[in-house]
């Protein structure tokens, strides 16, 4: 009789299937001692704290030194980030001050400061930056373990390591450093991992995706449902985990692994081919990146350029603002890496809802009272993106000068987020002109013909395209925010997340209207939200007239294969049928049927 198969659901990182034996890690939470100390014990307690930080720095440094030159750029970048967190004064200096002023033990002081920093992060509307609190917790946990006297914060080996079977880690949470250590230094076959927390934007998830490690995260209570040594199948493409599968499921999973291996080998052959439809229409496939090192991954995936360089990462987790030279070096590195291919750099998309430490505003003049760093009652509708930059002109001009200087090293384009009004477009252009004048006065080189584009992510902008097509050179549809604002759904609120529907007819009408409006005006339009990398939506977007898709580097080759299967005339007929539908479920079914037909080569 076959064994019972339990399916556990979570968020998969889309890196295939893994089969192995479960190794349960001890929960990351442990009791934090809290007590007051005598005044003459303050120096000793501060020394304990300093020593714990030093030991963890040494661990991170050792891991960083072991990173192979051929490893994905994210590997070193995430270790560098954790090292930066260790050096952040909010975590290494503030706890020492608490020990001195409140006469409390090091663990208590560090935990107080951790919760304060995480409160700031968790008030952020943007999911990617909100999830950075997880990195802070992971780093602080390593320090706390050192304070508790543990010899190392590294992951222990499983008891079944000598059986020859692959190991799948099961944990409440894993840090990028833990994943790297277990993969590179454990001496066992590491097949994948499961965690109880985490999401698509956690650095552990991103690292797993870049390294091709199958994983499913965000499975509530998984440690209570899986036993040590249980056989697991981790299907990271579907986000499902099979617990104690029977022989039939094992055989099918092994067949899928072989098929996936062959498919990936076939996809790699597409890197050098120009993306075009079955009827010969060329399509641009661009990459979205967060870090300068990601540009190398974009090239490896055969990207036609960078469609969205999110610059916020340079401004986060620090007490100051990045200087013009620091920003210039980052932007120029991407431009040089892409070797003449277009690089679209988005200006700072941060707001009062996102964490720029209060100290970062020192010396940055603004047009508003206060420093704008505190949380707002409704941050999604508050001072963010272009509104924020216009409120802090020195910050905006500094970034514009850095981008302009980088334009000398490649085909750089400038993208302004969350535009909604004509006066915002005019002000943004005026700031670019002012930055150009300042560089001219300094006799510094830049591309005087740099193209300026705008993001369409507010319904009001999509419905009033006239000012955009008259004043700008290209448009970029940010579908994530466009969906949120069109449907009045906070996509970070789990109680209403089920209403976040990319295929809602109103959303599709705004997308189609924008693509058509750009086409009539002769302006290129791209889609840079999650829809661009969704293979099911590819034919619909193509049928609406989209010819420029921007997505994660890992999604480029699968979407390129999808494009080869499509015909623009059939896609246009599909878009016309969908335009007459009013139910997202009906639309999804129509797209799935069209997807199957295209893969079969039906006309």
Active site residues: 203, 528
Is residue 51 within 8 Å of residue 150, measured between CB atoms? Answer: no
Instruction: Please state, in angstroms and rounded to a whole number, the distance separating the CA atoms of residues 56 and 259.
Output: 42
Instruction: Please state, in angstroms and rounded to a whole number, the distance separating the CA atoms of residues 455 and 448.
Output: 22
| ∠ CA 578-581-585, rounded to 5° | 90
Q: What are phi and psi of 578, to 5 degrees?
A: -65, -35
Q: Which residues contact 81 (CB under 8 A, 6 or more apart)?
A: 135, 203, 317
First-residue to last-residue Cα distance in the chain: 46
Pairing of strands 342-346, 411-416: parallel
Is residue 7 within 8 Å of residue 240, measured between CB atoms? Answer: yes
Instruction: Please state, in angstroms and rounded to a whole number, the distance separating the CA atoms of residues 507 and 511.
Output: 6
Range 183-203 burial, b when 16+ CB lie within 10 A, else e: beebebebbbbbbbbbbbbbb
Biggest CA-to-CA distance, the chain: 83
Q: Which residues contact 85 (CB under 8 A, 6 or more apart)?
A: 91, 135, 136, 139, 317
Q: What is the DSSP string of 502-571?
A: TT-HHHHHHHHHHHHHHHHHT--EEE-SGGGG-HHHHHHHHHTT--EEEE-HHHHHHHHHHHHH--HHHH
What single-letter DSSP state applies at residue 40?
A: G
251 sits in the region (left: phi over 0; alpha: psi -120 to 50; else beta) called alpha
Q: What is the DSSP string of 315-345?
A: GSSSSSPPPHHHHHHHHHHHHHHTTTSEEEE
Q: How far is CA 544 from CA 377, 517, 541, 556, 585, in A?
A: 37, 11, 5, 20, 19
Is residue 341 within 8 Å of residue 306, measured between CB atoms? Answer: yes
| Residue 6, beta-bridge partner list | 243
Closest CA to 268 of 562, 563, 556, 589: 556
Sign of CA dihedral 142, 143, 146, 147: negative
Helices and strands (H and E) in the chain: how many: 24, 16
Q: What is the DSSP string of 98-119?
A: HHHHH-B-HHHHHHHHHHHHHH
Instruction: Please state, in angstroms and rounded to a whole number, the distance separating the CA atoms of residues 7 and 373.
Output: 43
């Amino acid at each position: 009789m076959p064994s019972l198969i339990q399916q556990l659901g979570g968020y998969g990182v889309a890196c295939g299937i893994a089969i192995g034996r479960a190794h349960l890690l001890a929960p990351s939470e442990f009791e934090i001692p809290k007590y007051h100390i005598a005044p003459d014990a303050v120096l000793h307690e501060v020394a304990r704290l300093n020593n714990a930080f030093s030991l963890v720095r040494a661990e991170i440094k050792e891991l960083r030194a072991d990173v192979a030159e051929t490893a994905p750029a994210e590997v070193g970048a995430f270790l560098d980030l954790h090292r930066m967190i260790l050096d952040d004064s909010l975590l290494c200096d503030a706890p020492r001050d608490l020990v001195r002023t409140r006469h409390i033990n090091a663990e208590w002081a560090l935990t107080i400061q951790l919760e304060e920093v995480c409160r700031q992060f968790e008030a952020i509307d943007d999911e990617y930056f909100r999830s950075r609190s997880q990195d802070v917790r992971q780093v602080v946990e390593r320090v706390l373990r050192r304070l508790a006297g543990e010899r190392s914060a590294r992951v222990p080996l499983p008891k079944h390591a000598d059986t020859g079977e692959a190991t799948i880690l099961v944990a409440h949470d894993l840090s990028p450093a833990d994943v790297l250590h277990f993969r590179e230094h454990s001496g066992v076959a590491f097949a994948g991992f499961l965690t109880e927390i985490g999401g698509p934007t956690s650095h552990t998830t991103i690292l797993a995706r870049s390294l091709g490690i199958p994983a499913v995260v965000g499975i509530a209570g998984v440690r209570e449902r899986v036993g040590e040594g249980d056989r697991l199948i981790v299907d990271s493409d579907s986000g499902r985990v099979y617990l104690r599968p029977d022989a039939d499921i094992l055989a099918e999973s092994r067949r899928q692994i072989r098929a996936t291996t062959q498919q990936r080998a076939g996809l790699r052959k597409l890197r050098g081919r120009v993306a075009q439809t079955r009827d010969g229409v060329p399509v641009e496939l661009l990459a979205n990146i967060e870090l300068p090192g990601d540009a190398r991954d974009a090239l490896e995936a055969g990207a036609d350029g960078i469609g969205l360089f999110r610059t916020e990462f340079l401004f986060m987790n620090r007490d100051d603002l990045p200087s013009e030279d620091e920003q210039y070096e980052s932007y120029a590195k991407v431009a040089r890496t892409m070797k003449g291919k277009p690089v679209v750099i988005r200006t700072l998309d941060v707001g009062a809802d996102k964490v720029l430490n209060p100290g970062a505003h020192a010396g940055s003049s603004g047009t508003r009272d206060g420093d704008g760093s505190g949380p707002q009652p409704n941050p999604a509708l508050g001072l963010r993106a272009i509104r924020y930059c216009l409120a802090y002109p020195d910050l905006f001009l500094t970034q514009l000068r850095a981008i302009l200087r980088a334009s000398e090293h490649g085909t750089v384009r400038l993208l302004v987020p969350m535009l909604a009004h004509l006066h915002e477009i005019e002000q943004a252009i005026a700031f670019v002109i002012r930055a150009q004048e300042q560089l001219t006065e300094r006799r510094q080189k830049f591309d005087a013909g740099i193209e300026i584009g705008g993001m369409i992510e507010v319904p009001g902008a999509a419905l009033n395209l006239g000012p955009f097509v008259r004043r700008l050179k290209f448009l970029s549809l940010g579908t994530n925010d466009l969906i949120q604002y069109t449907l009045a759904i906070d996509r970070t609120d789990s109680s209403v997340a089920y209403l976040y529907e990319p295929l809602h007819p109103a959303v599709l009408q705004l997308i189609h209207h924008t693509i058509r409006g750009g086409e009539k005006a002769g302006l290129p339009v791209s889609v840079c939200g999650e829809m661009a990398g969704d293979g099911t939506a590819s034919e619909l977007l193509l049928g609406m007239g989209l010819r420029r898709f921007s997505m994660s580097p890992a999604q480029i080759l699968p979407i390129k294969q999808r494009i080869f299967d499509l015909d623009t005339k059939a896609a246009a007929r599909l878009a016309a049928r969908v335009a007459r539908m009013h139910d997202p479920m009906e639309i999804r079914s129509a797209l799935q049927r069209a997807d199957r037909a295209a893969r079969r080569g039906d006309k």
